[in-house]
Amino acid sequence: MSERLSVRKTYKLFIGGAFPRSESGRSYVVTSAKGEFLANASKASRKDARDAVSAARKAFPGWSGATAYNRGQVIYRVAEMLESRRAQFTAEIVAADGVSGKKAGELVDAAVDRLVWYAGWSDKIGAIRGSANPVAGPYFNLSSTEPTGVVAVVAPPSGPLLGLISVIAPVIVTGNTCVVVASERAPLPSITLAEVLATSDLPGGVVNVLTGNAEEIAPWLAGHMDVNGIDLTGATPELAQSCEELAAENLKRVLRPEAGPIDWLADPGTERMTAFLETKTVWHPIGV
């Protein structure tokens, strides 16, 4: 008997909860760290980026309007489902990064833990970032946090799952919706993650994943007038600068790439959440 011929998978984009091919019809070959063929992935175009922004915008009122507790529950549920796909992610990380199975397993564990950690922030970040302000007058004055809106995320090329989770989770846990430009070299975990998200309780459009070339897609997102913020963590310095310039057009909130390599295992702090939070201050008189 001959060896069974494997069924190869074509990885598609994730937009508005569905998995369309790129409208451009383009795809590209994804290889392993050793250069072996892994799969075909869709190569997103600017129109895909536009569609993803529309989907993210559409999802924003519902997701930002959900209770913080509910968002935490949904994200925790994603962590549970991620855990159950541990083996698949481990294999994909081994293939993508050429690390050992043990190391890849640790990275998946860290990614799950990171998600759980962020899930817990949903109903706490407002408490530590908001304030009751003692103004000099008969006024109740309260500052609270609100999500910025639609955030574009240029995912880091390294750390295919942990890095990805570490940039997506802080953006969405506070109520933003996002369009993620996945690592071009290692996009498969991002689409597998999308498959997890699609079957979780996360509403369609909260996370949208585009695979392809960041240099091509990110500037369209940076210049898009209906995108409110952009995380340039995965951008090269040149791409980051041009995106920051484009982002100026509608005064997007910009999270710049870090100067050196990022230790994704380190405590991320709250900065990735606060970068895409607005502070709203409400005044009201106090009187009989």
Partner 1 sequence: MFEYAPAPESRDVVDIKPSYGLFVNGEFVDGSGTAFKTINPASEEKLAEIAAASAADVDLAVQAARKAFTTWSAMPGAERAKYLFRIARIIQERSRELAVLESLDNGKPIRESRDVDLPLVAAHFFYYAGWADKLEYAGYGTRPIGVAGQVIPWNFPLLMLAWKIAPALACGNTVVLKPAETTPLTALLFAEICQQADLPPGVVNIVTGAGETGAAVVNHPDVDKVAFTGSTEVGRLIARSVAGTGKKVTLELGGKAANIVYEDAALDQAVEGIVNGIFFNQGHVCCAGSRLLVQESIAAELLDSLKRRLGTLRLGDPLDKNTDIGAINSAAQLAKIRELSDAGEQEGAERWSPACAIPDRGFWFPPTVFTGVAQSHRIAREEIFGPVLSVLTFRTPGEAVEKANNTPFGLSAGVWTEKASLMLWTADRLRAGVVWSNTFNRFDPASPFGGYKESGYGREGGRHGLEAYLAGSAPRESR
Partner 2 sequence: MSTLTTSFSSNASLRGFLHGLPGVDKVGADARAAMLGTRSIKTTAKRQAIDLAISMVDLTTLEGADTPGKVRAMCAKAMHPDPTNPDVPRVAAVCVYPDLVAEAVQAVKGSGVKVASVATAFPSGRSSLEVKVTDTALAVAAGADEVDMVIDRGAFLAGDYLKVFEEIVAIKAACGDAHLKVILETGELATYDNVRRASWLAMLAGGDFIKTSTGKVQPAATLPVTLIMLEAVRDFLATHGRKVGVKPAGGIRTTKDAIKMLVLVNETTGDGWLDPDWFRLGASSVLNDLLMQRQKQDTGRYSGPDYFTLD
Question: Which does residue 241 touch among partner 2, partner 1, none (CB within 5 to 8 A, set by kind)?
Answer: partner 1
Q: Which does 127 bind (CB under 5 to 8 A by kind): partner 1, partner 2, none?
A: none
d(CA 156, CA 181): 9
Q: Where are the beta strands (DSSP E) in 137-203?
A: 139-147, 150-154, 177-181
- Say how far apart CA 151 and CA 202 lie, in whole Å: 16
Report the alpha-carbon distance of residue 121 to residue 156 in Å, rounded: 22
* Tokens representing residue 186 in the block: 């290692």
Interface residue with partner 2 among 134, 138, 261, 269 (CB under 8 A) is: 138
From the list 131, 124, 147, 143, the residue with the least C-alpha distance to 278 is 147
x/- contact string, 177-216, with partner 1 (CB under 8 A)?
A: ----------------------------------------
Instruction: Identify what 10 binds: partner 2, partner 1, none; CB under 5 to 8 Å per kind.
Output: none
263 sits near partner 1 (criterion: CB under 8 A)? yes
Angle at 160 between CA 226 and CA 47, to 5 degrees: 30
Candidates 45-53, 85-93, 159-167, 233-241: pick the segment binding partner 1 (CB under 8 A): 233-241
DSSP assignment, residue 258? P
Residue 240 found at the interface with partner 1 (CB under 8 A): yes
Structure tokens at 215: 């240099």
126-165: contacts with partner 1 (CB under 8 A): 128, 131, 133-137, 139, 141, 143, 148
Give the binding site for partner 2 (CB under 8 A). 137-139, 285-288
